[in-house]
Structure 1
Amino acid sequence: MPIDDKDFVKLNYTGRVKETGDVFDTTYEDVAEEAGIKNDQKDYHPMVLAVGSSQLIPKLHDEIKGLEVGDKKTVEIPCEDAFGKRDPSLIKLIPMREFKRQNIKPFVGMPLTLEGNPGVVRTISGGRVRVDFNHELAGKDIVYDLEIVDTIQDDAEKIKGLIEVYYGNPNLDVEKTEIEIEDGVAKITLDKLSGFEQRTVQEVTLSKFRVARETYENIEGIEKVQFIDEFEKPEPEEETEEEADSEEVAPEVLPDDEE
């Protein structure tokens, strides 16, 4: 059956820069390792994609629609339909004194964020630092190799896939996440490891919002998403017979004058 908007698919892909062939993203561990971009914090397996969502660039969604399970396809995407053309206005010259004031020693290739915008230091010269705020793939035509592995019909499995994509906690075990869907409400109880994250409250809240938005926008019948924090008192450990038998009662010792 041809894939259409709001269908959930399991997708394998590899993204390459057309001009150089350099791999910048992939779902295959061996490809990532060979390209030198392997991330030890990432699980490499087919990603769950809600077709038509904001997960991938729009052009890719257009190319996926109409495919079926088992289909493979290579797609070339010009820069204007991928990550945009390079914008000279996004290259800023920042005085070195601004870095010194914050006790930062910049270097070429250093990533940084200014007013929420990620950038990279390109040059340092004459007391000024040239920072490029264009996307790293801006101005580059790209090629994607796609493979439709499967489709997902179960709504709870769809949500688990979205959690893997958007929640961003490498220690979270999605299989230990509980999902209950009733009367248009999806109740999500995350794996308990999610309560011990090294992220800010704002980052965690944004991750949950992304999961919720993609859920109610792409799964028919779900109007509300609730995340439930649950902490359960552990049951006391029962004493085994062996432990009980091993406990000896100390004999009563009387003073000499009471014997």
Structure 2
Amino acid sequence: MVKSGDTIKVHYKGTLNDGTLFDSSEGREPLEFEVGSGMVIKGFDDGVMGMKVGDKKSVNIPAKEAYGDPNPEMIFDFEKAQIPNDIPLEVGGTLNMHNGQQTVPVKIVEVAETTIKLDANHPLAGQDLNFDLELVNIQAGGDTTVEYQEVK
């Protein structure tokens, strides 16, 4: 059974409460991560605890255990003059800003005459998330591996 410190592989399908698909491992390798290490959102980490290889389950993760509520301080005005002319500035578009250490995607929420309003909140902030999970591998903290092979 999955416990903190295990490295696991899980297939998943992530949807919003209205059924909108926002991410899936379908057609890709399963997601691999160390449980309890902070590599995934808290609700996802908690959702896999106790699963056994081959188990399937659905979990609902409230926004506070996912990407939190939108932070109004992450919405700000930016001078259009600081953006190259060849970059289209359309509401709903995304820009990548660099803060010296990392690239942060920001969404354009308003275009004015001399400024644009940008939102640097995670796109899923404020959303409850639903995941269909299937555990396919556990590598226990002690290095023992259990893998699921579907019988055909």
For this structure pair, what is the TM-score category when the shorter chain's length is used for normalisation? Answer: 0.7 to 0.9
**TM-score (structure 2 length as normaliser):** 0.80
Q: 1:67 to 1:119 in 2, by over 3 A?
A: same
Q: Give the equivalent residue in structure 1 for 2:113.
A: 126
Q: Say yes or no: does 1:87 pair with 2:71.
A: yes
Structure 1: 4+ residue segments shifted above 4 A: 102-105, 153-158
Q: Give the equivalent residue in structure 1 for 2:8.
A: 9
The root-mean-square deviation of aligned C-alpha atoms, in Å, is: 2.5
Q: Give the equivalent residue in structure 2 for 1:70.
A: 54
Give the gaps of 5 or more residues in structure 1. Answer: 30-43, 159-259
Q: 1:71 to 1:126 in 2, by over 3 A?
A: same
How many Å separate the matches in 2 of 1:53 and 1:68?
19
Structure that is richer in strand per residue: 2
**The structure with more radius of gyration:** 1
Alignment of 1:230-245 (within 5 A): none
1:133 Cα deviation (Å)? Answer: 0.6
Give the gaps of 5 or more residues in structure 2. Answer: 146-152
Q: Give the equivalent residue in structure 2 for 1:27.
A: 25
Q: Which has the higher contact order (CA 8 A, sep 6+)?
A: 2
- SS of residue matched to 2:121: coil
How many Å separate the matches in 1 of 2:59 and 2:88?
41
Structure that is richer in helix per residue: 1
C-alpha contact 2:61 2:128 (8 A) present in aligned 1 = yes
Q: 1:15 to 1:73 in 2, by over 3 A?
A: same
1:110 Cα deviation (Å)? Answer: 2.8
How many pairs are equivalent?
141
Q: 1:25 to 1:128 in 2, by over 3 A?
A: same
